[in-house]
Amino acid sequence: MACPVFLFPAIRGGVSWRAVRSSWWRNAVFYQVYVRSFADSNDDGVGDLPGITSRLDYLRSLGVDGLWLTPFYPSPQKDHGYDVADYYGVNPEYGTLDDFGSLVEEAHRRGIKVLIDIVPNHTSSRHPWFEAALAGGDDQHRARYHFARGRDGAPPNNWQSAFGGPAWTQLEGAPEWYMHLFAPEQPDLNWWNPVVPAEFRKIITYWLDRGADGFRIDVAVSLHKRRDLADRPLVPHRITGLPTTAPGFEIIDQPEVHDVYRDWRHILGTYEPERVLVGEIFDAGRQSRYIKQDELHMAFAMMDRRWDASAWKRAIDVYRRAVSRSTSLPSWTQSNHDVIRHVTRLGGSGLGRERAKASALLLLGLPGQYFIYQGEELGLEEAFVPPERREDPLYIHTNGRHPGRDGCRVPMPWRQNEPNAGFSTSPPWLPTPAAWDRNAVDAQARSSTSVLSLYRRVLEMRCGLARRLPARMDWAAAPKDCLIYHRGPLSVACNFGHRPLELDQPADNGFAVAIRPGEESPMRLVEEDE
Ligand code: TEU
Ligand code: CA
């Protein structure tokens, strides 16, 4: 957005004042667009790039500084784009390269940056490299992936796929297996082979040249697997006694992964204005190793703790400490396309929504970036998707033991009293829940008490305060079930309890939150001029 953000974190390690000062991404608010479900321009039931372009004014009026687009590359969509068949194109369902160009141009015209998703851990099984590896069986192509012989008809080792079952699939009628830490349609690349890093250098340069402002890196720490492919040691489970994998034995996160990001950061450094790397890393310990002046700029401070003041305080401090030795700040987030929507996690319906409003304010006042997941600004809940309509490989490959992630990926409701809440005149790829009409953007825009109006107000206030907010915050003494912090002129209070709290802390220049169950408007926003 047009709001210039000039907040100065502690400057260490020889970063020039100018470099820090001119960083557009520090304290920015990003908005994650799940491309397939955001906006459908041609009414075929599937979101697309021109749809996003047509909604940029909505995103500008919301007040975001940047977008993260989930993968839009040609893909068989076995994991909805996280199975890339061609890293240099656009899935025809989503548009063309020209559509990408217009999207970037129009976003930039509105002062909005565009991050794209890069998937370096694995390709699609329909990527020409993997097809050649299977067809020819030649060593050169196979060496780009992990092929290994099985052990007496069993997989080469005991590693498991994140989607259930072994991380290996056997080739038909052959002794070899190939590795996939996710679905069988997502074979893992062999980053030890120099051809692979060389290809990704080309890919990121290609998109930087097309105007991308940076990358969200999928499963960022997994690129190099442990070289010996050794079995994970098994130990008896603490409670059940059943064999379980021993902690502290890394099959990913090898030291060489850091070389990749140092290399990418170097490439990014040759572009103006500054481009950024956001790693899909949630673990604070790992964040402290990867968020560095010469590696990643950001990673996700995922706030998925139970609704409890001390648990939230602890988590906030853990994530703040993780970046304390860098010039970066945490990137607060509560939801994405892989997790149950946080309104639902926090208790669902009215209560969950009020808590979600409070948690957003709590996090938006903190130093750092904030990542909104599309629909969060509407207070959307996890949707029920009938089992026969579910498409997530996590649901499919666990044979339904895991409900899958479709419930947070249901298309955006744009307009009330229209088919499929205004997303599309055709049935959307995932069905719109009947009651979603009332969540529609147009309805919420008309109401001053809607979640959307709250987000707009808070982002505007944040933008207005930006120049006066230091990178430092301090916790203040607070009553039980309550967190209070001060950050320069801003004071934020969040009530995690069930009873209304009267605070004697003045909330002079900032906003204060109080949850008053049973009241029509349980949230209080104290603005500067009140
Ligand atoms: O997710 C990687 C990841 O570690 C998880 O959040 C994953 O969804 C979970 O382990 C499943 O049990 C990324 C993407 O965000 C996700 O959508 C993809 O499915 C995954 O990588 C594979 O590309
Ligand atoms: Ca479409």
CB of 82 closer than 6 A to ligand 1?
yes
Choosing from 73, 78, 82, 409 the residue with most ligand 1 atoms within 8 A of its CB, the one to mutate for a pocket test is: 82
pLDDT of residue 495: 86
pLDDT band at 511 (very low <50, low <70, confident <90, very high): very low
Long-range contacts of 126-129 (CB under 8 A, 24+ apart): 126/75, 126/76, 126/83, 126/85, 126/185, 127/84, 127/85, 127/86, 128/85, 128/86
Q: Count of residues for the chain?
A: 530
Q: If you search the block for the tokens 């900032």, which residue do you land on? A: 510
Q: Residue whose CA is closest, atom 4 of ligand 1?
A: 219
Q: Does 457 fall in a domain? A: yes
Q: What is the pLDDT of residue 76?
A: 98
- Confidence grade of residue 17 (pLDDT, cut at 50, 70, 90): very low
Determine how β-strand 276-279 pairs with β-strand 298-302.
parallel
Q: Is residue 194 part of a domain?
A: no
State which amino acid sits at residue 522: P
Centre of ligand 1 from the C-alpha of residue 338, in Å: 6
CA-CA distance, 185 to 174, in Å (whole number)?
A: 18
Q: Which of 106-120, 241-255, 506-520 bottoms out in mean pLDDT, i.e. has the lowest?
A: 506-520
Q: Is residue 505 part of a domain?
A: no
Q: What is the pLDDT of residue 499?
A: 79
Q: Is the pLDDT of residue 162 over 60?
A: yes
Which ligand 1 atom lies nearest to the CA of residue 336?
15
Q: What does the pLDDT look like over 228-265, one tens digit per residue?
A: 999 999 999 989 999 888 888 999 999 999 999 999 99
Residue 134 vs residue 522, higher pLDDT: 134
**3-state class of 234 per DSSP?**
strand
Q: State mean pLDDT over 77-99.
A: 98
Per-residue pLDDT for 12 more than 50? no
Residue 504: per-residue pLDDT:
64
Give domain status of residue 90, yes or no: yes
Indicate the burial class of 241 (C-beta count within 10 angstroms; 0-12, 13-18, 19 or more): exposed
Q: Would you say residue 474 lies in a domain? A: no
- Helical H runs in 191-245? 195-209
Query: Is 416 within a domain?
Result: yes
Beta-bridge partners for 67:
31, 114
Q: Specify the pLDDT at position 22.
A: 58
How far, in Å, is the centroid of ligand 2 from the Cα of 36?
8
The answer, yes or no, to whether residue 530 has pLDDT greater than 80, is no
Active site residue 185: no
Which pLDDT does position 5 carry in this prediction? Answer: 34
User: Which residues are CB-contacts of 520 (< 8 A; sequence separation ≥ 6)?
Assistant: none
Q: Which ligand approaches the C-alpha of residue 222 most closely?
A: 1
Under a CB-based contact definition with an 8 Å cutoff, are residues 80 and 409 in contact? yes
394 lines ligand 1 (CB under 6 A): yes
| Least confident window among 29-33, 34-38, 290-294, 396-400 | 396-400
Does the active-site annotation cover 106? no
Residue 384's CATH number? 3.20.20.80
Q: Are the CB atoms for 293 and 13 separated by under 8 Å?
A: yes
In the set 117, 213, 280, 354, the catalytic residue is: 280
Q: How confident is the model at residue 180 (pLDDT cuts 50, 70, 90)?
A: very high
Digit-coded pLDDT (tens) for 276-290 = 999 999 999 999 999
Q: Does 435 score more than 50 pLDDT?
A: yes
Q: Which of 159, 304, 288, 173 is nearest to 226 (CA)?
A: 159
Handedness of CA 438, 411, 103, 41 (dihedral sign): negative
Tell me how far apart the alpha carbons of residues 77 and 84 are, in angstroms, rounded to a whole number: 8
Asked whether residue 185 is domain-assigned, the answer is no
Burial pattern 69-104, b for ≥16 Cβ within 10 A else e, equals bbbbbbbebbbbbbbbbebeebbebbbeeebbeebb
Match 């950061």 to its residue by tokens: 265
For residue 79, the ligand 1 atom closest to its alpha carbon is 19
Q: How far is CA 274 from the centre of its chain?
A: 20
Mean pLDDT of 361-372: 95
Q: Is 203 exposed, middle or buried (0-12, 13-18, 19+ CB in 10 A)?
A: middle
Per-residue pLDDT at 514 exceeds 60: no
3-state secondary structure at position 132: helix
Binding site membership of 219 for ligand 1 (Cβ less than 6 Å):
yes
CB of 182 closer than 6 angstroms to any ligand 1 atom: yes
pLDDT at site 277: 98
Helix (H, G, I), strand (E, B) or coil at 529: coil
Return the residue whose CA atom lies nearest to atom 17 of ligand 1: 338
At residue 501, the pLDDT reads: 75
Whose CA is closest to atom 9 on ligand 1?
162
| pLDDT of the residue at 15 | 41
- Cβ 166 vs Cβ 160: under 8 Å: yes
**Residue 474 in contact with residue 485, Cβ under 8 Å?**
yes
> Minimal CA–CA distance to 151: which of 188, 183, 176, 181?
176
How many domains does the structure of the chain reveal?
A: 1
How confident is the model over 495-503, as a mean pLDDT? 80
Res 306 pLDDT > 60:
yes
The verdict on the CB of residue 307 being under 6 Å from ligand 1 is no
* Pocket probe mutation, ligand 1, options 218, 286, 405, max atoms within 8 Å of Cβ: 218
Question: For residue 373, which ligand has an atom nearest its CA?
Answer: 1
- The protein residue whose alpha carbon is closest to atom 7 in ligand 1 is 338
| Both structure tokens of 331 | 């990137």
Indicate whether residue 338 lines ligand 1 (CB < 6 A). yes
**Where does 195-249 have alpha helices with state H?**
195-209
Which pLDDT does position 520 carry in this prediction? 30
State which residues form the domain around 98.
Answer: 26-121+213-219+253-461
| 3-state DSSP of 34-48 | CHHHHCCCCCCCCCC
Q: Whose CA is nearest to atom 2 of ligand 1?
A: 219
User: Does any domain span residue 284?
Assistant: yes
pLDDT at 246 (0 to 100):
86
Cite the DSSP H helix spans in 143-254: 195-209
Mutate to test the pocket of ligand 1, among 160, 338, 396 (most ligand atoms within 8 A of CB): 338
Average pLDDT, the chain: 90
C-beta of 372 in contact with ligand 1 (< 6 A): no
Least confident of 173-177, 188-192, 246-250, 417-421: 246-250
Residues 64 and 31: beta-carbon distance below 8 Å: yes
pLDDT score recorded for residue 505: 53
Peptide bond into 197 cis (omega under 30): no
